[in-house]
Copies of this chain bind each other. A is one copy, B any other.
Amino acid sequence: MLLSKSCIYALRASVLIASKKNDGFITIRELSDELNISFHFLTKVLQEMTKAELLESYKGPNGGVKLARPANKITFMDVVESIDGNYMINECVLGLPGCGVMKPCALHDQWSVLKTDIINMMNEYNLEAIAKNRELQRSFERKSAQLANL
C-alpha cells in the first residue's frame, strides 16, 4: 500500500469535510458515521491533522472540526504528509537508506520518473478539486441508477 490506513482515513474525511459547503464545525461523530470509520480512531487521525494545522477544532456544543484553510489551499500532499510524513520524498520503492541521484539503486531510472509524477499529482490536486470530482461522480451514479430503474 502506498498510503497507510490512517492516511486514507484522513483523506476520506478531509474530502468529506471539503464537500460539505457550510463552513461551521462538523462533529467527528458525523464524519465517522458517514465514512464508516471507528469514531475514536478517526479522532486520533484528525488530531494529527489539527496539529499539522490543516484542521481547526473546537470543543463543546456546536464544536467539531473544519478546514483551517480554503479547500483549494490544502493539497493531497498536505494531507499525506500530515499523517505519513514526507516519506514519498525521502524514501522510495526500495527504501534504501541514503539512496538517490548520487547513489541510485537499479530501479531508480525507471521509478524516479513515476515517483515524480505521483508527487506532482499530489501537489497539484487539492481538496476542493477532489471534492468537486466526488460530487460529479455521485451525480453520475445517481443518474445511472435512475437509468437502471427504467
Binding site for B on A (CB under 8 A): 1-3, 5, 8, 11-12, 15, 76, 87, 91, 93-95, 103-107, 109-111, 114, 117-118, 121, 125, 130-131, 133-134, 137, 141
Contact = CB atoms under 8 A, between A and B. Distances in A.
Contact of A3 (B87, B93, B105, B133): B93
A87 B2 CA distance: 11
Please indicate which of the listed interface residues A91, A105, A107, A133 has the most CB atoms of chain B within 10 Å of its own CB: A107
A59 to B, nearest CB: 29
* Number of copies of this kind of chain in the complex: 2
Contacts of A105: 134
A91 B130 contact: no
Nearest to A122: B110
A89 to B, nearest CB: 13
23 contacts: A1-B87, A1-B91, A1-B93, A2-B2, A2-B93, A3-B94, A8-B93, A8-B94, A8-B95, A15-B106, A103-B141, A104-B137, A105-B134, A106-B131, A106-B137, A107-B130, A107-B133, A110-B121, A110-B125, A111-B121, A114-B114, A114-B118, A114-B121
B114 A5 contact: no
A93 B76 CA distance: 12
A134 B11 CA distance: 37
A91 B11 CA distance: 16
A3 B93 CA distance: 6
